[in-house]
Structure 1
Amino acid sequence: MPPNDLADHSGRECHRKSDVVVYVLRDLQNTPVSIPRSMPALSPPPSELPNHSTASLVRGDSGSMFREEVWPPPRDARGHSREPSIEDDPFRAIMTSPLPSGAAQPKKPSPHANYAYMKELRTLLLPPMKNIVRRLVIECAVDGCDTVRKACKMSLDDVVHELKDEAVWFDGFDWLERRRNDRLEARKTEQRTRIIKESSSGDDPSLSS
């Protein structure tokens, strides 16, 4: 399409048979238009050029692909066409054209790929899941409660929270010793908090009276 036709459209959608050419022009007031040095002689003068444009992504059907083109096509010092760059943009265009047959949509994963994914996921998560079950069995045996009922009450968020604990990723962890240490630390923290409150109330004369 010649440059004059492009300037006439000035940002409106142009439908030409199967190809859709969308020109997105952004109005930048008081901003000079950058003109590449290698602009060919057939290009319109700077006074007739539209404002500097920005190309945006245009969503098409599943049978379309996107490519970005620059008009006028950039040329080197000898006048030969070259690959466009970011600086080559009196205005830019995004053109869509039909995809080749068989490439319209991504292929679904094969059963072999799905099986390999499930196998890797099982290999990764089976050891920590076994340690979570082991922890439930040990703690429920000491507390005298039903392990199955406690496991059935666990939601997916609870399982994810357990997986975040680094201890479940190691085999042979002593869960009872850890629970005793946690309870002892909680008791010490409660005692320290109570002592601080008593000392603060004893120092305040208004509270003592």
Structure 2
Amino acid sequence: MKRIFVFSFIAALAVCAADLSEAQAPKDAKEANKLAREGAEASKNQEWDKAIDLLRKATALDHKYADELSAVYQQRGYAAATNQQFQDAINDYGEAIKLTPQDVRVYEQRAAVEMKLQDYDKALVDYSEVIKLKPNEVRYLNYRAYIYELKKDVKNSMADTDKVLKLDANNQEAKTRKTRLSAVAAANAPFTPIPAPSRKPSPTPHRKP
């Protein structure tokens, strides 16, 4: 009898908790919506810090606001880059990527800032992520080929350039780069001396006895 009572008590607690959770859900959704609206208003006024704080709270209550939070991080990142606060911009784009990792624009924006800092290795990583998401997008392949060329990596630059030309045989940027890269490759090719022709030994003249 005692066991039945304990089991019934636990079951009642579980039902109670479920009811409370269901009651809390609409309340959280309502609060999240209110915070998101306030965040959007702050964003319109370019009050980036306030907007991010409000949208962070909204996203914690309801993850559907992650896209809006990512967009505000991107806006603040762009403003920071415009003011040449490049590291702040990179940090904000990094936060945006955590929220929306499938958004190619964020990687592209961060790579643009990294290029300003001449951090070619990090820009390459970001463009490689973009190309994973959009493998047949010519402009991304072209840009990565350009970065490889800046790094004097002829082999990888040529590989991306050839991919572009397979997708778009008349792409002028790729055709021009291929000509340049081919000239560099030829100039750097090891010199192989042409062997001199072998001389046949002259016949020994016969002396008359």
- Scaled by the length of structure 1, the TM-score of the pair is 0.20
CA radius of gyration, larger in: 1
Q: Normalising by the residue count of structure 2, what TM-score does the alignment of the two structures yield?
A: 0.20
Normalized per residue, the structure richer in helix is 2
